[in-house]
Structure 1
Amino acid sequence: MLAIKLKRIGKKHQAAYRVVVAEKRSKLGGRYVEDLGWFNPHTDEMLINKERAAYWIKNGAQPTDRVLRLLTPRTK
């Protein structure tokens, strides 16, 4: 089963994440099917291809809780 999840990148104590489509049981730093974008929690910046994410969700990929929060629009 495929999942949309965060893959950790960056230096120690300066983590950033790639949003990837990967096998649900694969390692977090392992192989992935498609790279959908990135997320930096320190600066709260992100760039995610929401059209491709919607395509993968429509085709059965399950987003993790954190990715689902990133994909939904924020309200202030």
Structure 2
Amino acid sequence: MVVIRLSRSGSKKRPFYHLSVADERNPRDGRFIERVGFFNPVARGSEEALRVDAERVEYWMSKGAQPSARVAKLLKDNAKAQA
């Protein structure tokens, strides 16, 4: 099954996450199909905390991709902010 999940990058104590479309059997930070955005939980001031390519997320969800719990919450919050 294909999932939309966060894959961690960044340095120690400074996490940065990519929103990745991947096969659920692959490791969290391993092979992915496509990156559709990022999430920076330590963004300050004018830094962008979340960027999502909504068009690509909708495409993958129409193909049956399931978002993880955290990604679903981020997408919901992003949709609220856009409205």
Correspondence for 2:25: 25
Q: How many residues align?
A: 75
Shift of residue 29, structure 1, vs aligned partner: 1.1
Mean alpha-carbon deviation: is it higher for 37-46 or for 49-58? 37-46
Across the aligned residues of Structure 1 and Structure 2, the Cα RMSD in angstroms comes to 1.3
TM-score, normalised relative to structure 1: 0.92
Q: Does 1:48 align with 2:52?
A: yes
Given candidates 60, 64, 73, the residue that maps to 2:68 is 64
* Aligned structure 1 segments of 4 or more residues deviating by more than 6 angstroms: none
Greater helix share, 1 or 2?
2
Determine which structure has more spread, i.e. the larger CA radius of gyration.
2
TM-score, normalised relative to structure 2: 0.84
Structure 2's unaligned 5+ residue stretches are none
Q: Percent identity?
A: 39
Correspondence for 1:35: 35
Structure 1's unaligned 5+ residue stretches are none
